[in-house]
Amino acid sequence: MADNSFSDGVPSDSLEAAKNASNTEKLTDQVMQNPQVLAALQERLDSVSHTPSSYIETLPKAVKRRINALKQLQVKCAHIEAKFYEEVHDLERKYAALYQPLFDKRREFITGDVEPTDEESEWHSENEEEDKLAGDMKNKVVIAEKEAATAEEPNPKGIPEFWFTIFRNVDMLSELVQEYDEPILKHLQDIKVKFSDPGQPMSFVLEFHFEPNDYFTNSVLTKTYKMKSEPDKADPFSFEGPEIVDCDGCTIDWKKGKNVTVKTIKKKQKHKGRGTVRTITKQVPNDSFFNFFSPLKASGDGESLDEDSEFTLASDFEIGHFFRERIVPRAVLYFTGEAIEDDDNFEEGEEGEEEELEGDEEGEDEDDAEINPKV
């Protein structure tokens, strides 16, 4: 059988490679002669070469020098903005003192220590006229039954489980609450926000006031959030206002056997030498809302936190901010659910507006292209 691996002293593999190279060159020539392909390549090159950083690099040194001067001005602006937020904090402190008498009266109504007057209890709903007409028709039929029902209707003290209901209504809080936390939270009577004193580092304290209960002896549990309102020296352009940088909890004086933040487990141990087995009990951490008062500490010694710890700390800061900005000032609306509905409607409105704008943009692409040659 003839050997076809050589032809005229040239290996067949070399001939095949040369043939493939020739075909590749022809294909490349054909592609490069295609206007659409050339346009796509040019667009790709333009997008790479026209990035902001690459553009700055092409500028003369004199222009770069002036840009550096603008950055110096920007840093000074950031420091002025920090002072602005410090004065805002002073204003918050001032107006917190004006709000407090109203919040104190709110607590009295909630706990039942004070009964609101008829004038204080008067409230006009949006559907008041419709409700009134329907009520008048119904009253003509069931006056006697209504009077009897009113006589038998229970009249609990204050507004039972007011704050606990808020915890259940707000997803951010209900996710933290375990079933065994619920009986404790039903003893919660008030939540207050206290701002740092003038001249002290910026911070605020959340105070959770409890009535006497079977779980702990504290009447108040506190959580302190420390804030910073100054540009970072390493990255001053990232400053966007005050931020929470750390937080401190408090010690809960649990009554015997009532600590829900730990659970007792039994574990068997076998002696290596004798082979005997013994059972030991140990306490391990347990999921609970009351871990809120034993927070992670932000790393201040140069060591970075792991990803899970950073997420936990960020979530803690978000919850503290939400208590301060939303829950405490608007408690009754979170109790009734009206604030939650408003939040949901606002989010849906944003999404709807975004979709509508996208639809408009799609419909106007052709006109935009005619008006603006850069598009």
Mind listing the pLDDT tens digit for each residue in 317-332?
A: 999 999 999 999 999 9
pTM over 0.85: no
Give pLDDT, residue 199.
Answer: 85
3-state secondary structure of 202: coil
| pLDDT value for 208 | 98
Predicted confidence (pLDDT) at residue 347 exceeds the cutoff of 90: no
Q: Which amino acid, residue 296?
A: L
What confidence tier does 361 reach under pLDDT thresholds 50, 70, 90? very low
DSSP string of 34-97, one letter each residue: -HHHHHHHHHHHHHHHT-HHHHHHTS-HHHHHHHHHHHHHHHHHHHHHHHHHHHHHHHHHHHHH
CA angle 186, 188, 190 (to 5 degrees): 145
pLDDT tens digits along 19-37: 566 666 666 666 567 777 6
Q: CA-CA distance, 189 to 107, in Å (whole number)?
A: 7
Q: How confident is the model at residue 371 (pLDDT cuts 50, 70, 90)?
A: very low
Q: How confident is the model at residue 60 (pLDDT cuts 50, 70, 90)?
A: confident
Q: 16: which 2 tokens?
A: 């095949």
193 close to 199: Cβ distance less than 8 angstroms: no
- Would you state the pLDDT for residue 229? 82
Is it the case that residue 277 has pLDDT exceeding 60?
Answer: yes
Q: How many other β-carbons are positioned within 10 Å of the β-carbon of residue 312? A: 15
How confident is the model over 167-187, as a mean pLDDT?
96
Residue 210 has pLDDT above 80, yes or no: yes
Range of weakest confidence among 55-59, 63-67, 275-279, 292-296: 275-279
Between CA 323 and CA 270 the distance in angstroms is: 49
3-state SS class at 365: helix
Mean pLDDT in the chain? 80
* pLDDT the model gives residue 94: 93
Contact 251, 294 (CB under 8 A): no
- Integer Cα distance of 132 and 146 in angstroms: 16
State the average pLDDT over residues 244-257.
94
Percentage of the chain beyond pLDDT 70 is 70
User: Between 357 and 149, whose confidence is greater?
Assistant: 149
The pLDDT of residue 169 is: 96
